[in-house]
A and B are shown apart, each in its own frame.
Chain A
Amino acid sequence: GIQVEQSPPDLILQEGANSTLRCNFSDSVNNLQWFHQNPWGQLINLFYIPSGTKQNGRLSATTVATERYSLLYISSSQTTDSGVYFCAVGRPSNDYKLSFGAGTTVTVRA
């Protein structure tokens, strides 16, 4: 199956700092989504971004499908940004099936 690697595995930030999370994948994808799992366990979809760039408030994401990676940018981090960030991808042969990376655990300190 497709391999999804996220880096770094852990990230500690001071409030107000900026950061970049990376997602590499091993094959062509037709579906790529970023999720945030907050400390209470809720999974929130951040972006559906199989290609291109999107922004939502302090978060933005870029996917370069031809080079098999996606980046998630967090600017002016807040303590509420803490949690685990997951990248998930789906191959053209089965767009519905998302394979998840192991996640990046982000801790934002006040």
Chain B
Amino acid sequence: AQTVTQSQPEMSVQEAETVTLSCTYDTSENNYYLFWYKQPPSRQMILVIRQEAYKQQNATENRFSVNFQKAAKSFSLKISDSQLGDTAMYFCAFMNPYTGANSKLTFGKGITLSVRP
């Protein structure tokens, strides 16, 4: 079974600065997807960024980028130029859709990020 570990329960960052959220995972599979989801206080889960394991290039989405280290099973999220609206809970998640129709999203415990004005 896959596991996703987010060891930092909380982080705080000053507005406009850069912050990195850590995530490690454990799997014996070679092909899979990794995701970062954001859940603001309004509670809707929003996809921030996705990474396909067979791609060596790190995914980027505007101010959000990942550092994907497949051998180390590490998938960290970097938020540049932090904004107040980035305050939220962030979940790292793993999925292997290659297993078929019953693929499931496995979440880490999440990290609460606070952006200070």
Do these two chains interact? no
